[in-house]
Amino acid sequence: SQQGEEDPQALSIQEGENATMNCSYKTSINNLQWYRQNSGRGLVHLILIRSNEREKHSGRLRVTLDTSKKSSSLLITASRAADTASYFCATSGAGSYQLTFGKGTKLSVIP
């Protein structure tokens, strides 16, 4: 089954810096989504970008999608300690619509 693969696996930055996480996938998608998971909690949906969109913004989040390279990136600007969490990309397959999750990037924001 297709699966998003996040890169890097772990990222540590200082508060106020920007954090960039990448996601690569293998087959055609309907949309790509990013989720956040705080330690010991359920996942929270952050943003959805459709296959015909190239960029999307939500507050301090910016997501890009390059379907020719089968990749996406999530940028968190001006990071805060509260952004410390694991971030997952999930792809919705074209035709099947099932969501397939990657293994996540663990972000640590140091105050």
Sites of contact with other proteins (CB under 8 A): 1, 3, 30-31, 33, 35, 40-45, 48, 88, 92-93, 96-104
CA 67 from chain centre, in angstroms, equals 15
Task: Please say which residue, 39 or 68, places its beta carbon nearer to other proteins.
Answer: 39
Q: What is the dihedral of CA 17, 14, 82, 39, to 10 degrees?
A: 120
Task: Please say which residue, 12 or 96, places its beta carbon nearer to other proteins.
Answer: 96
Task: Please say which residue, 15 or 56, places its beta carbon nearer to other proteins.
Answer: 56
Q: What is the dihedral of CA 72, 101, 8, 63, to 10 degrees?
A: 30
Place of tokens 């106020």: 16
CB of 77 to other proteins, least distance (A): 22
CB of 45 to other proteins, least distance (A): 5
